[in-house]
Structure 1
């Protein structure tokens, strides 16, 4: 679609058209990463200021969403580092051990089965136990719906690294949820086995 003349000549109109439709999703992403709703709102506001200042650098309007998320994540990281905060992280080994107790190696099935039992708040809380390197790719892909190459652009890492971090991040998230909620591996395995024929028959 050809941009309207107003979008080409009026930066305010271009900003409103390109940025405003994404504010709700950006705020939801910030709330999952910030310590409070107020911090999330401040981060989105700062990201919008930076987006306005850098609007002339955006050459391809189709890529505006990953561009905005890259700015927002930079704001969140800057804020996190300035405050000198360190998240309490559960041992990665402990999380992977919890996952291995569920089932040997079927990462996606376990991820879907465990996360499917819980509301978003519980998943958010479990994500807080993961290192940022693994939490962010999982959130961007499985919650925000970004493609692998877009996540690579947002996070500034190679495509292969994105894929490996999502795979391991899902494993860690499943382990974190199991550890937090005391779910029994035998119960989950039995339930997953009961559901698989139904999924297969529906295809």
Structure 2
């Protein structure tokens, strides 16, 4: 007969797996857009899972496991950046917002419709690499991962009003980022994705590509 202590451990392990496993793909996607390779993203998620297991007793509300996991993963990614001495790439916010305004106010409706039609999947994820991390994170968590404003505020440790502001402006920056690269997006040669991969690598490696407004 299995001792009671072993039974308890098995029950906790089963509960942990049931709560964490459904979120691994999302966590990996979040990490992959902030690391230089898939292997590095997988290592970050694995470390987050180890930390989550060690701190599992501190999860008071199982319904909040997803924001809890994101908090842990963001801490892992931050530790990795600090350890490697990386710096966030600086982007010209003004340039991206000007691109957005030009796209919305331009006369080339056909291009606008085509660009909007391609704002799905990898195009959006790649364009997120072009905008500052604070805005990219807020937009990604809300529009891709489906977090509510309050959940994002809790994860990021910022007021809910700041979350709403970052999402609003982040969406404009995202549209501007896509617009600035629309020629690449509208070609089917895969160059746009390769350029985005290079930008992600530059961000992870500490390349300064512009100045913030």
State the TM-score, normalizing by the size of structure 2.
0.73
Kindly tell me: are residues 163 and 114 of structure 1, through their superposed partners in 2, closer, same or farther at Cα, counting changes over 3 Å? farther
Q: CA deviation digits over 1:119-169, x for unaligned, max 9?
A: 422222221111111000000011111111111111111111000000000
Moved more, 42-51 or 31-40: 31-40
CA contact (8 A) 1:47 1:72 kept: yes
**For 1:151-194, what per-residue CA distance to the aligned partner results, in whole angstroms no more than 9, with x for missing partners?**
111111111100000000000010011112249xxxxxxxxxxx
Q: Do 2:96 and 2:173's aligned partners in 1 also have CA atoms closer than 8 Å?
A: yes
> Which residue in 1 is equivalent to 2:202?
none
Alpha-carbon distance, 1:87 to partner: 4.3
Confirm or deny that 1:94 pairs with 2:108.
Answer: no
Note the residue ranges of structure 1 that are not aligned, 5 or more in a row: 1-5, 105-110, 184-203
Residue in 2 that maps onto 1:198: none
Note if 1:56 corresponds to 2:57: yes
| CA deviations over 1:3-40 (Å, ceiling 9, x no partner) | xxx78983212211211221122112212222210111
Aligned 8 A contact 1:90 1:130 in 2: yes
RMSD: 2.4
| Residue number in structure 2 paired with 1:159 | 160
What residue is the counterpart of 2:173 in the other structure? 172
Instruction: Give the aligned partner of residue 204 of structure 2.
Output: none
Structure 1 stretches of at least 4 aligned residues deviating more than 6 Å after TM superposition: 6-9
Q: Give unmatched runs, 5+ long, in structure 2.
A: 1-6, 106-111, 185-213
Cross-structure match for 1:10? 11
Matches of 1:18 and 1:118, distance apart in 2: 31
Measured in 2, the distance between the counterparts of 1:112 and 1:167 equals 21
In the alignment, is the contact (CA less than 8 A) between 2:31 and 2:44 conserved in 1? Answer: yes
Structure 1 length normalisation: TM-score? 0.76
SS of match in other structure, 1:103: helix
92-101 vs 21-30, which deviates more?
21-30
> Which aligned pairs between 1:23-102 and structure 2 lie closer than 5 A?
23-102=24-103
